[in-house]
Each structure stands twice: as C-alpha cells, then as structure tokens.
Structure 1
Amino acid sequence: MFQTLAYYSSVFHKEFVGYTSDKLQKLGINFGSVFFLIYVGNHPGCTPSELTKALQMDWGHSQRSVTKMVNEGFMTKDKCGRIYHLNLTEKGQQAFQVSHQVFFDWDKEKLKALTDAECRQLFELLQKAAMGKKDVKDE
C-alpha cells in the first residue's frame, strides 16, 4: 500500500463518488450535479458566470450542466435584463437537501474510528495542506 496523500485522496474520492451516487440516483441526479445543486442552493439568484467561477469549471461544461439541470426540473434560469439568474425548483430544493446531507453522512461513517480531537486535528492538517503554506511559527 502506498503511503502518499495522492493515494488516499484517490481512494476516498472513489469511495465518496460511489456512496454519493447510490444515495442520489433515486432522485435522478448524478455525482457531477451535486456541486451545482449545492452552490445554487447556497447562493440563490446567482448568475451562471458566478457559478462557473466559484466551481472553477470550464464555461462550456458548466453551461451544459446548467441546461441539463434546467431541463430535468431541478433549476430555473430566469433572465433579468441582460443577465440570467439561477434558482432551485422545489425538486431542486429536495435534491439540494439530500446532496448537502450526504457529505455529513459520509464523514460520519468514515471518521467514526476517530475521536473528536482527532477529527479536528485531521481537518486542521488537511486545510493547512490544501493552502500549501507552513505556519509562521514553523518557518
């Protein structure tokens, strides 16, 4: 077994995608839709441009995904002047709730062997690694 962050990231990603897909397919959404639902659910009335930038997505992929979600009844895309605004439909709100909760449920399952203090330490270290900086005291 590899002792690298890349290895464990890959394992967790694969497991999370599988777990999430099982929970969400009942609602008719896939893993790729989760982040769009969560962003629009947390930022009602956002523009497609804001969504694309926040999710760091390719413009074309983002627009195809939004169009698909509109066509499937999860989201609305309403024009106000020259700008479109995105909102969740009732169906989208239900999917948002499930999508949002799946993150917490998966964490609870995966982290059940850790104490609260170990969980806090793990998240602090992951945040530090994600930022790519050493603490000032470490330099």
Structure 2
Amino acid sequence: MEPYTVSSRILTLHRAFASYTSQRLQELGLNFGQMYFILYVGKHPDCTPSELTKELHLDWGHSQRSLVKLVEDGFLTREKPGRSYRLRLTSQGEQAFMVCHRVFADWDAEALSGLTAPERQQLLALLQKAAKKKG
C-alpha cells in the first residue's frame, strides 16, 4: 500500500492553493472563501442570494453573512427590484473578479511548472474523469 492516497494529495494541493490565494487576495481585502462569491456573481450578474447559496452548496446563514460583508465592503450591490434581491459586482468587485481569475491561472502555472505540456493535459483529463459523478 502506498503511503499517500489521491485524497491526501488533493488536500495538500488545496491547502497550498488556499494559502497562495489568501496571500494574493489579502491586498484586496478579501479572503479565500469570499473569492467564490465574487466569481459566482461575476459570472451570474443579477443572480439571487438563493441561487448563489444553492449553486455553491452553502449554509444559508453563512451565505447571508458573507453577502452582507461583501456589500458593506463595497464589492457587491444587493438591490430588490421586485420580489427578491439581485446581486451585482461593483467596480471594486469587477476588479476583484479579474484578480480572482488571474489567481487561478497564476497558481496553475506555478504548481504545474515541473510538468510538460502533454503531462499537464493528461493530468487535467484524468482529474476531469475522476471528478465525474458516478451513478
């Protein structure tokens, strides 16, 4: 039996990614968890808090507290044009959205620098295959 499992390697990569991302986002006043809110709203302007909470598989209370903080900090707007609130990025949120995207690309480049282009493609293909839900 090998001393490492796929899950242990994934956790190691996740910790490294979270640390790297936190350092990069700290200068914007964001933390690792808030990045996913920014990315979701940036990709789904005018989404509702309920949609975001469901799609990100979050606890309702945690989601609401995070959204209120992002509104207070100037990253999001939360307006109620009808029956439900709609979320949008502010100009500060748009800048954060661009940085969040860049963080993913930069970390991949750094973390995978020891792999050849074909090895990177193979790794991504295998991870995608493993991530597909069975049943």
Tell me the TM-score normalised to structure 2 length. Answer: 0.94
> Following the alignment from structure 2 to structure 1, what is the Cα–Cα distance between the partners of residues 111 and 68?
34
Q: Percent identity?
A: 55
Deviation at 1:89, TM superposition (A): 0.5
2:84 is matched with 83
Structure 1's unaligned 5+ residue stretches are 135-139
**Post-superposition offset of 1:33:** 0.3
| Normalised TM-score (structure 1) | 0.91
Q: Which amino acid aligns with 1:118?
A: E
What's the counterpart of residue 137 of structure 1? none
Deviations 1:81-115 (A, max 9, x none): 11110000011111111011101100000111112
Distance 1:129 1:20 in 2: 24
Amino acid at match of 1:81: G
Counterpart of 2:94 in structure 1 is 93
Q: Say which is worse superposed, 99-108 or 125-134, in terms of deviation.
A: 125-134
Partner residue of 2:22? 21
Partners of 2:133 and 2:42 in 1: CA distance:
29
Partners of 1:130 and 1:59 lie apart in 2 by 26
Amino acid at match of 1:99: C
Q: CA deviation at 1:62?
A: 0.7
**1:35 is matched with which residue?**
36
Q: Structure 2 matches for 1:1-139, cutoff 5 A? A: 2-133=3-134
Letter in 2 for 1:54: E
Does the residue aligned with 1:83 lie in a helix, a strand or coil?
coil
Compute the displacement of 1:132 (Å).
4.3
Offset of 1:13 from its aligned partner? 1.0
Q: Number of paired residues?
A: 134
Offset, 1:133: 4.1
Q: Report the alpha carbon displacement of residue 2 of structure 1 after superposing the two structures with TM.
A: 3.0
Give the aligned residue type for 1:44.
P
